[in-house]
Structure 1
Amino acid sequence: MRAAVIGLGWWGKQIITYLHPSNKIQVTHGVDVQVEHLADFAKDHALILETDLNAVLNNPDIDAVILATPHSMHEEQALQIIAAGKQLFCEKPLALTSQGAKRILDAVQKQNFVLGIGHERRFEPALEEVLRAVKAGELGQILHVEANVSHNLFAKMSASNWRVQDQDAPAGALTALGVHLTDFFISLVGCPTHVRAKTGRVLKDAVGKDQVMVQLDFKEGITGSVTCLSTTPFHGRITVFGSLGWIEVKENGNVDWGLPSEMTITNSEAKRSFKSLPASNVVLKNFESWADAVAGKSVYRYTPEQIYNNIQVLEAIVYSSNHSSEIVAIH
């Protein structure tokens, strides 16, 4: 599959680097509004640079487009890409509204395409083990899921950076960071039924919103919580509690740091065991899984319903945080 990456900022370049060893996806083109500073990167990765999305949409040699642009641009650009007959892989979040997500998913279905989504966290060995244990019933009845994944990478950005602007990050760091967590919870216990959220700025000199707290209700009385802080050093913890035990995953760094994850597994007698799981190229795993699905070789693990539900949750979080933490029902 020959692909173009749209948006050659930090993450767009990371995607190209992660895909370098792939024999399933070859990135041949890159598109960015500012290509002057990309000459060395393009040379190192044998990229043809363009400044206009239409240049790749009209190119018959390109099979797919990988979208890594500011969040508020996703919907319009995604629909352009699909209408041009190109397979689409979109970085998260797919859209900022559930209506926008539905329009994209409907367009994908109409073309009989497979939508790729940038939730590579589900491919992390530790989280794959959590999902396996939950689905196998090893934890018994699931009672509660919680996560706190925070870092201060955004705090070092200029206030003019799109990643900290309300237009592209209406739920603060959760817009780009916490949506991985809600996606994972949806894969574990389904879509939440109710959401309550609070966002704010604790540090006066913080760039954008630096605190997001979310409470989630799921079916069968399961509860959940998500916290994202953007002015503290890296912290990553995901815990799933069940009637027969619990599992906690502690992460030592961001996905691009290449550090192992630590797991604590506790049984019904409160006996604990520990595992250390090495980092792996989860970005490559996600993309190649998508490429296999496009080729009809496998089923992609992210269903359209799950992708849509995650945007419903994001939209509810934004609404709740903008309306005095009002409880929002998801239908």
Structure 2
Amino acid sequence: MKVAVIGLGWWGKQIVTCLEPSPHLDVTHGVDMDLEAVAPFALAHDLVLLNSLEAVLAHPDVDGVILATPHSLHEQQVLACVNAGKQVFCEKPLALKKESVDRMLALCHEKGVVLGVGHERRYEPAMEHIARLLQDGTIGTLLAMEANFSHDNFKKFTGTNWRLNKADSPAGAMTALGIHLTDMFISLAGPVRTVWAQTASRSFQEPAVDVVSVLLTFESGVTATMTCLSSTPFYGRFTVFGDKAWAELTEISNVDVDDPATVVVRKDDGTRDVFEYEAINTVLANFEAWAAAVENRADYRFTDVEKAHNVEILEAITRSAHSGRPIELGRVHGA
């Protein structure tokens, strides 16, 4: 499948590089607001540069589109891609409101398009280990989860950068980092019932936010807490607690650095096991799974219900942080 990447910033470039070994996806075209700045990268990776999404959609040799663009643009861009007959993969979050995702998914279903989503962290070997421990009963009854995913990559940005503005990042690092954690939470514990969120501007100048902390309660009764910071050196931890064991995943580097991850499992018999996992190309793993779903070779790991629910959680977190009150999902829109 020949694909174009829209947005050749840091992450768009990362996608192009990660997909180079793919036997199923060939990145042939790219679009960026600053074609002159990305020209050396495009030349090095044999990309044809076009000046707009519309030019890509009109190109008969492009089968699919990968969107690495500001979050507030995702809905209109996904709908345009689907209406043009292209398969589409959209970076997370799919949108900032659940109603947007509902419209996107409805059109994808109508047109036979598989909507890919950039939640490659589910494919981390250490994260898959955590999931297996829950599935095989090692953890026992799941009680609670804790997570922290933080880095200071955005400290170099000015307040005008879209990754810091309220229109695209209405709850600090939730859109860049926290959305991964909530995706993993719901994959392990199911739907969320309520959220209570707080944000702060500690190192960043307002209105930019560099602290977000959230308490989540699930329909099952499981609880979870998460924190994402935008102005501290990289920190990654994900812990699940059960009545038979707990397991904790720790990482020392972000996805673009090939450092190992560690999983520690402590059981109720006192045993403590430590596992180390080398980094793999999780971006490629996610895209290969999407391509397999597009070609009807396999089901995609992310259900449409999960895609929509994760954005519903994001929307509730944003509303809670702004109001200072807990938000019950399903009542995000005042229903």
Compute the TM-score of the two structures, normalised by the length of structure 1. 0.98
Give the conservation status (yes or no) of the 8 Å contact 1:245–1:270. Answer: no
User: How many residue pairs are counted as aligned between the two chains?
Assistant: 330
Distance (Å, rounded) in 1 between the aligned partners of 2:23 and 2:204: 48
Distance in 1 (CA, whole Å) between partners of 2:68 and 2:241 is 35
Letter in 1 for 2:326: I
Is 1:329–2:323 an aligned residue pair?
no
For structure 2, list consecutive stretches of 5 or more residues without a partner in the other structure: 331-335
In the alignment, structure 1 segments of 5+ residues that lack a partner are none
Q: Alpha-carbon deviations, 1:258-301, whole Å to 9, x = none?
A: 11001101111232110110000000000001101110000110
Partner SS, residue 139 of structure 1 = coil
Compared with structure 1, are the counterparts of its residues 206 and 230 closer, same or farther at alpha carbon in structure 2 (3 Å cutoff)? farther
Partner of 1:144: helix, strand, or coil?
strand
Question: Residues 206 and 231 of structure 1 are in contact (CA less than 8 Å); yes or no, is this contact kept in structure 2?
Answer: no
- Residue aligned with 1:74, SS: helix
Kindly report which structure 2 residues correspond to 1:1-331, keeping only aligned pairs within 5 A, or say none: 1-203=1-203, 205=205, 208-324=208-324, 326-331=325-330
Question: Whole-Å Cα distance in 1 between the matches of residues 315 and 133 of structure 2?
Answer: 30
Larger displacement relative to structure 2 (147-156 or 274-283): 147-156
> What one-letter code is carried by the residue in structure 1 that aligns with 2:328?
A
1:131 counterpart SS class? helix
Asked if the contact 1:245–1:267 (Cα under 8 Å) also holds between the matched residues in 2, the reply is yes
Q: Percent identity?
A: 48
| Bigger Cα displacement from structure 2, 80-89 vs 37-46 | 37-46
Q: Is the 8 A contact 1:154 1:207 kept in 2?
A: no
Q: 1:220, 1:192 → 2: CA distance? A: 8
Counterpart residue identity of residue 28, structure 1: T
Q: SS of the residue aligned with 1:149?
A: strand
Deviations 1:27-74 (A, max 9, x none): 000011210112211111110001111111011111100000011111
How has the CA–CA distance of structure 1 residues 286 and 266 changed in structure 2, closer, same or farther, with 3 Å as cutoff?
Answer: same
Q: Aligned-pair RMSD on alpha carbons?
A: 1.1
1:205 Cα offset (Å): 4.3
DSSP 3-state at the match of 2:60 = coil
Q: How many Å separate the matches in 2 of 1:18 and 1:30?
A: 15
Q: Is the CA contact (8 Å cut-off) linking 2:239 and 2:249 kept in structure 1?
A: yes
Within 1, Cα distance between the matches of 2:110 and 2:146? Answer: 36
Q: 1:205, 1:303 → 2: CA distance? A: 38
- Measured against aligned partners, the alpha-carbon deviations of 1:148-179 in whole angstroms (never above 9, x if no partner) come to 11111112212211101111100101111110
> How far does residue 206 in structure 1 lie from its aligned partner after superposition?
7.2
SS at match of 1:162: coil
Q: CA deviation at 1:223?
A: 0.3
Post-superposition offset of 1:220: 2.6
Q: Measure, in 2, the Cα distance between the counterparts of 1:157 and 1:137.
A: 44
Residue 207 of structure 1 and its aligned partner are, at CA, apart by: 7.8
Tell me: CA distance 1:305–1:8, structure 2 relative to 1, closer, same or farther (3 Å): same
Deviation string, structure 1 residues 76-120 (Cα, Å, up to 9, x no partner) = 111101111100100000000011111111111111211110000
Q: TM-score scaled by structure 2?
A: 0.97
**Counterpart amino acid of 2:173?**
A
**Would you say the 8 A contact 2:204–2:231 is kept in 1?**
no
